[in-house]
């Protein structure tokens, strides 16, 4: 990301807050926070972040699926896209 490019091997951080505080989510559900670091907007040139964020979401979901973790679009309550 130092060169203003989103890497092919996309790093991201996942926190399941409801594992330590069950009150964060309804019974039978989880509160999940996923942080995807990206280069500074000023370093990326002309990027349509609305389109790019949709592609990043697909990439994150694909990586989670490899680990048998699925998050349906209908389960996403808030997303900065």
pLDDT by 10-residue block (mean), the chain, 81 residues = 75 94 92 87 77 89 92 77 51
Residue 1: inside a domain = no
Number of domains in the chain: 1
pLDDT of residue 53: 85
pLDDT of residue 63: 93
| Rounded-to-integer distance, Cα 75 and Cα 30, Å | 10
pLDDT of residue 79: 60
Q: Is the distance from CB of 72 to CB of 19 less than 8 angstroms?
A: no
Residue position matching structure tokens 């990586």: 63
Residue 30: inside a domain = yes
Residue 64: inside a domain = yes
3-class DSSP state of 6 = coil
Residue 61: inside a domain = yes
pLDDT of residue 65: 94
Residue 65: inside a domain = yes
Range of the domain at 29: 13-75
């Amino acid at each position: 990301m130092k060169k203003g490019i989103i890497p092919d091997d996309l790093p991201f951080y996942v926190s399941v807050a409801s594992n330590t505080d069950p009150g964060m989510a309804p019974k039978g559900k989880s509160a999940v926070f996923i942080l995807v670091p990206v280069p500074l907007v000023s370093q990326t040139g002309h990027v349509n972040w609305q389109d790019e964020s949709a592609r990043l979401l697909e990439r994150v979901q694909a990586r989670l699926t490899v680990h048998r973790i699925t998050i349906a679009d209908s389960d996403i309550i808030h997303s900065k896209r």
